[in-house]
A and B are shown apart, each in its own frame.
Chain A
Amino acid sequence: GQQLNQSPQSMFIQEGEDVSMNCTSSSIFNTWLWYKQDPGEGPVLLIALYKAGELTSNGRLTAQFGITRKDSFLNISASIPSDVGIYFCAGTISSGSARQLTFGSGTQLTVLP
């Protein structure tokens, strides 16, 4: 079953504001991935994290692999209208198969002009 808690479930922000969302788990993860899903499309990989403490950026996006290996966060700076979508965290649990991804339930982001 699902073992990731993603929050918040939804966010409404003004264009230009920064955004932060996170995922936590009671299990230790070996990898953390962040995806974005636009309506009618499949999830697209934004950032992949492979080591505890790793901080990685992709343009205005920054994600970190928590030191405890049980959490990760995603920050979006200076939001723009095209940031609208659903953001998912995902990862592989250290006690499970390296091929099995577990997903969070998603954060629905709305950017108001």
Chain B
Amino acid sequence: EAQVTQNPRYLITVTGKKLTVTCSQNMNHEYMSWYRQDPGLGLRQIYYSMNVEVTDKGDVPEGYKVSRKEKRNFPLILESPSPNQTSLYFCASSFNGQPQHFGDGTRLSIL
């Protein structure tokens, strides 16, 4: 079954404690991206990657890092999380950038 898998689905943590949200897709897609969803703002793109070792900033990249060492994986790294990064995060993938297939989301709470 074609899937975009995110882990964890839920995480409560504290300010400054580094965390990583993993994303994996089994469709051999070249393109992967991360979004955050906040009430009233829709989805905003954080980072995207067009292929292995190729990443670029989206609309709201501050405070986030990504890496693309393998085609199937695209982890999102928060080196020093802050409360304003409390949000619902989605990973997505596609062959050429669109349309994109989304994971089920990761809800992060930074205290």
Residues of A within 8 A of B50 (CB): 99
Q: Which of A6, A41, A103 has the most CB of B within 10 A?
A: A103
B-contact 0/1 string along A81-104, CB 8 Å cutoff: 000000010101000011111111
B102 within 8 A of A: yes
Partner of B42, one of A40, A42, A97, A105: A105
| A25-B57 Cα distance, complex, nearest whole Å | 22
Asked if residues B90 and A42 are in contact (CB atoms below 8 Å), the reply is yes
Q: How many of chain A's residues have a CB under 8 angstroms from any CB in B?
A: 27
Given A1-B59, A42-B90, A101-B102 contact (CB < 8 Å): no
Partner of B99, one of A2, A45, A98: A45
Asked if residues B104 and A40 are in contact (CB atoms below 8 Å), the reply is yes
Q: Which of B31, B41, B43, B92 has the most CB of A within 10 A?
A: B43
| Cβ contacts A to B, 27 pairs, < 8 Å | A1-B59, A2-B41, A2-B42, A2-B59, A33-B98, A33-B99, A35-B102, A42-B4, A42-B92, A42-B105, A45-B101, A88-B43, A90-B43, A97-B56, A98-B97, A99-B33, A99-B50, A99-B97, A99-B98, A100-B45, A101-B33, A101-B43, A101-B100, A102-B45, A103-B35, A103-B44, A105-B42
Apart from A1-B59, A45-B100, A102-B59, list 17 A-B contacts with CB within 8 A: A2-B44, A4-B42, A41-B104, A42-B4, A42-B103, A43-B90, A45-B99, A99-B31, A99-B33, A100-B45, A100-B48, A100-B58, A101-B97, A103-B42, A103-B44, A104-B42, A106-B42
- Nearest 7 CB-CB pairings of A with B: A42-B102, A99-B97, A103-B42, A105-B42, A103-B43, A45-B99, A48-B99
